Amino acid sequence: MSKDRAILGAVREYRLDGNELWVDCGDPHMRVTFLKPELVRVRIVPGGDFAPQHSWDVTKPDQEFKVIPLELQQTQHALFLNSSAFTVRVDKDTALVEMLTPDGKSFFADLISPVWEDDHYWFTKRMEENEYYYGFGERGGQMEKHGQTMRNWTTDPVQPQGAFVDPMYIAIPAYLALRKDIAYGVFVNCTQDSKFDLSYPGELRFEAKGEELDVYIAFGPQPMDVLSQLSDLLGKMPLPPKWALGYHQSRWSYGNEQVVSQIAKTFREKEIPCDVIHLDIDYMDGYRVFTWDEERFPDPKEMAESLADNGFHLVTIIDPGVKVDKQYAVYEDGVEKEMFIRNAKGKLVSGFVWPDESVFPDFSRKDVRIWWGKWQNRLKANGVSGIWNDMNEPVVFEKPFSQGGGRGENLPLDSIQGPPEEQTTHAVLHNLYGSQMAQASYEGLRHFKPNERAFHLSRSGFAGIQKWSASWMGDNGSCWEHLELSVRQLINMGLSNVPFVGADIGGFFGNATPELFARWMQIGALYPFSRGHTCSGTEPHEPWVFGEEVENIVRDSLKLRYQLLPYLYSVFQRASEKGYPIWRGLFLHYPEDINTYHISDQVLIGKYLMVAPILHPGQRARQVYLPAGTWYDWWEGTRYEGGRYILAEAPLNRMPMYARAGAIIPMSPAMQYTSEKAIDPLTLVCYPDEDGHFKLYEDDGISYDYLQGKSCFTSCQIHSDEKNVFITIAAREGDYQIPERKLVVVLRDGRQYQQKTIKDIGLAQEIHFDRN
């Protein structure tokens, strides 16, 4: 790239070629490509030398979108490229770009020209009045991001979490912008080191290494529509196995088979629901990936089978670093097949991690991902059900772990990566490393067991990580501040198109107090990904170690999660189909209510359930905002009119929770694990006074047969007036067969509790309740 400074100039010439407008702006050239009526791509590069498509691109290729009708208009001052949803305006004198709604409102408008200088560029957008910004991947600070500067660089941070801890493990250069009448989303297609700066009044600035400015803009006008459009671009979460929606128990580390067996036994004896036990790094032989310590885990297959007999799945951690050891088969095989990253001189790049000196696979290459998957399948053959990818920013220590490790560092940024025909540097692919490792993990298990859904968890990732893995927020601490932060983080991750997310319940570093653990478990039991995890050297954090009162609270919290699984699984299915979040900020469903724009201590789970966790010690009541409409207290059934704040009682054993009027919440019997028994009876808990509907989704929960139509939907509707409530259940649709079962229909209207039990054989029926 030229080191001369470049900016946009006047439009010299232009042409419309199918879905794409080409514009000559002097030195820079611009391409404006409508991929869908609601989704446009804008690319600008000095000299007009646009980058080719890369094998590592996270976006859906342009050619896979259908051609759509467009209209190009011009005036003396501007070009207008119109889709059926919105317009792109290019000023003829300056080539500045702005988007226009159908009624002419401006959004995502250039404030000044983008600038290219030396090895980087930046663009500056005008912040519209009363516009708010969310998403940006994994961040500290407040939910709404005015005033923050956020770097996109996958990092194992020195400090565990916090308002000013940035960057963090996951880098997603995407955001949702919202004002009362407009919602739009932005993805900046840049894998190199970059940052968003929202700290200057009236300006949103993006600065990055590299040359080509490449931005996608998705128009709503509703915020849920924006997220769906961006998911069409960045990919959607595959439906996880149902057991992965159960509770996960973890620690660094459960040191041997006997400890693991005892943990599992205690869960069952105490009747605390749990589906998954995780093994951290100490199960390995000297931290060598794909091995087992033969003294502490002499028969992992038998251990996994014993766990499975009791309803548990086993998940093992894997790191990318492969120990340099000529007696170690993975290392020797990788060297022979040239699987590891090398520098420009052809020498292996190494760094210190848990097994001390290690080398790192180049996951940007398909052949390396296949190779990794084959080694990983040795774990699957031993009964492992899921893979937990860690340390995959990637991070290396400043000195050997055996000498203390020290703070984390990057691999050399000039290291060579990529397939032979498109080699580049680690500086370009660093942010993608975690996602590509997760891709290797996902594809490897999918190849080994083509019709069995597995579970994958990744600490690091880039935009699109949801296609391969669930994510968690990395190493937090046992403190109230990090409990509160987790709510904001998970909401914003969902707004970044990553719905299957969680945080370490109870905190990773330090020791939770009984009250903190109880409050954390109340909301953590409803995280999309629900796992308790803690660090080596901390006190035990299993649910039964905090005393009888807290144990009962944990049991009740997890019991509720398992009872809600029919509802949650249906919400997950919708997320996999439409790209919607599981956890939702209130503004997603109430964008007309500006009061919701800063509420970050309440969350909608799906559309119909709202929780208001207790996030401060000693608190036994809290203020809760109820958006417009009618709401019902989940525990008492009390009816409230919304559009106002209420004071909610919150004794230690209860977290405020509400159902929206019109809700039909499907529930299962209490279970110790997700496959313990059939959902019989199926209970529908119904809340009247607004019309509503819910589509219950069911399949076998474990295979990919649902992709071939072996699933079923049951559509339920509720209609009510002052005297009557009608629950209409449509005939079940789909090829998945469900045996005859009982259907319990419960009406909660704030005045009385009514219940009717009928037979469910998949036929249409209507249930009537008299409210007199």
Catalytically annotated residues:
390, 393, 475
The helix (run of H) or strand (run of E) holding residue 485 is helix 480-494
CA–CA separation, 646 vs 45, rounded Å? Answer: 53
CA–CA separation, 299 vs 302, rounded Å? Answer: 5
Q: Let me know if 295 is exposed, middle or buried by CB neighbors in 10 A (0-12, 13-18, 19+).
A: exposed
Categorise residue 716: left if φ over 0, alpha if ψ from -120 to 50, beta otherwise. Answer: beta
CA–CA separation, 712 vs 103, rounded Å? Answer: 41
For residue 598, what is the DSSP state? G
DSSP states of 382-416 as a string? TT--EEEE-STTT-EESS-GGGT--SEEPPPTT-E
CA 767 to chain centre: 38
Q: How many CB atoms lie within 10 A of CB 29?
A: 19
DSSP states of 237-269 as a string? PPPPPGGGGS-EE--TT--SHHHHHHHHHHHHH
CA–CA separation, 435 vs 170, rounded Å? Answer: 9
**Of residues 556, 422, 568, 580, the one with CA closest to residue 497:** 580
CA–CA separation, 645 vs 74, rounded Å? Answer: 50
The residue written with tokens 């401006």 in the block is: 106
Q: How many CB atoms lie within 10 A of CB 63?
A: 8
**Of residues 432, 546, 414, 570, the one with CA closest to residue 478:** 546
Are the beta carbons of 486 and 474 closer than 8 angstroms? no
CA–CA separation, 685 vs 673, rounded Å? Answer: 22
Q: Residue 463: what are its φ and ψ, rounded to 5°?
A: -50, 135
Pairing of strands 120-126, 203-209: antiparallel
Taking each continuous run of H as one helix and of E as one strand, the counts in the chain are 11, 53
For residue 285, what is the DSSP state? B
DSSP states of 197-220 as a string? E--STTEEEEEEESS-EEEEEEE-
172-209: buried (b, 16+ CB within 10 Å) or exposed (e) per residue? Answer: bbbbbbbbeebbbbbbbbbbbbbbbbbeeeeebbbbbb
CA within 13 Å, CB half, 68: 21
